[in-house]
Chains A and B, each alone.
Chain A
Amino acid sequence: MNKIPILELQNVDTYYGSIQALYDIDIVIYDGELACLLGGNASGKSTILKTILGVCNIRKGMVKLNGERIDGKPTKYIISKGVAIVPENRRIFPRLSVLENMEMGAYLRTDRTEVKRDIERMLGLFPRLKERLHQPGITLSGGEQQMLAMARALLSNPKILLMDEPSMGLAPILVDQQFDLIHKVNQQGTTVFVVEQNATMALSIADRGYVLQTGSIVLADTAQALLNNEMMQKAYLGGEN
């Protein structure tokens, strides 16, 4: 496989005020792959996403998207260059209709007929959303909101899709569905970077994974190798010691 890096974090340090949150982070995500970032509470997972999106400024290192440096650029610019995110807790617009929520996902696109076609395509992928097209987002169930958040993110035609804790707040059966869906989206060609606490679930679909501990990457390997790693077994996968 010809590996083209889409997103790169090189030696990144991020601070909140005087408190350092990330230490010398190195992450590379290649075109077409499904990578995951694992870590417990307060390990810095969200900070990494905020750093990619330009919400947090870095103090050292660089962030590159398709080879172009994006650190220090405003969020809007980074989004316009092909980054989309399904935020933690989905964050759909509660009083916009399902259709309007999807239109917001395509906010920066100017190819209106293409957008219409893509919305139709999403409705084919998520028939449940079609039934609720003109309902306010807040009336959807948790699983439907997850579908909507995914559809909304995909409608920007992202080069890379970031997913922040997709299993958060969902019933176990919905978590399975959710990860099947992420897998499917990736199979259809979208590069995906999943940030997740549920390591077993994430590694079951991912190609590669990074493990974050108190702001540093402590492990980086293929998903298979991580599943077999002794430290991973003990700390994250709940295996027998």
Chain B
Amino acid sequence: MDVYLQQLPQQLVNGLTIGGVYALIAIGYTMVYGILFMLNFAHGEVYMIGGFAGWWVLNLLSRNNVPIMNAAIVISLMLIIAMAVTGLLGMMIERFAYRPLRKAPRLNLLLSALGVSIFLQNLVLNYQGAEIRFFHVSSLIPESIRVFHIGNVVLSFTRILVILVTFLLMALLTVMVKKTKVGKAMRATAQDTEAATFMGIDVDRIIVLVFLVGSALGGAAGTLVGLLFTQVDYYVGFQAGLKGFTAAVLGGIGNIFGAMMGGIILGLVEALATTFFPSAYKDVVAFVILILVLIFRPWGLMGEKIPEKV
């Protein structure tokens, strides 16, 4: 038991890191579901392309795997460009794959989402190939700050970066949704789309904005994970998408704060599970949680049981 207790702080840090990433991905699922009542299965691919965009920027700013600029600038540019690329991608997916089906049955939208997912995966496979692309993090981050030791907790620079950036982005999103006019309009649209149109809210523009913000957060998560685990390939979106989706359902799909909570809880539970079970069981634990939530609390931790509209 002592061994486990000693590992606990380390696992909490690990859980918080990956949980923040799950939360960012989950936000994209939950925001889209909140307004369109559809599962955007292409979201995992958006995350993957975010990872590739970060990798591409890193390579563009490097010669022989050594960055030509200050690491802070390189990392900022990686994140900003990954978010811009994926935000734009999300808007395009909405425009071309979902908007024409707005009045169609939900199942058609779901199939379209799966189609976009397969399309994007194969597009990347075609242009990038199947091999794993590496982020040369060791040459990017100066040796002196690469790893910190606090007690027996090992804290890498990238881990701190991921925690800081994920929580900063979540804080910004919270302010936007809670305090700004457009954020309030987003919530109004999610709660009652028709009543929102009666207020003069342009629902189409709100939906575009939801895809922009949700996809950009997913793209940021892709680059952050690339920096953390130093690699990306065309297939990472599948697993990440499932985890983000699980986190969104766990928190109560449609609820942004639920998605944040769900992501962090999922990350922590996975990390703790690896202290007690072989790490191969990590995903088993994640999906057992998903099944339990669906059975016992299908509206999630923070979701509400909403009576059918009359």
Contact = CB atoms under 8 A, between A and B. Distances in A.
A94 interface: yes
A100 B202 CA distance: 17
A108 B200 contact: yes
Interface string A97-110: 00010011101100
B200 A93 contact: no
Given A93-B196, A94-B191, 17 more contacts: A75-B198, A76-B201, A79-B198, A80-B200, A84-B198, A87-B194, A87-B195, A89-B310, A93-B195, A95-B187, A96-B188, A100-B187, A103-B181, A104-B196, A104-B199, A107-B199, A108-B199
Contacts of A85: 198
A186 interface: no
B310 to A, nearest CB: 6
Nearest to B202: A76
Interface residues of A, number: 23
Contact of B191 (A76, A95, A108): A95
A104 B67 CA distance: 49
Given A93-B191, A93-B192, A94-B191, A76 B184 contact: no
A93 B194 CA distance: 11
A104 B184 CA distance: 8
Contacts of A190: none
B128 interface: no
Interface string B287-310: 000000000000000001000001
A70 interface: no
B195 A91 contact: yes
Interface string B178-196: 0001001101100110111
B108 interface: no
A112 to B, nearest CB: 10
A217 B308 CA distance: 34
8 contacts: A85-B198, A91-B192, A93-B196, A96-B184, A100-B188, A103-B181, A108-B200, A156-B199
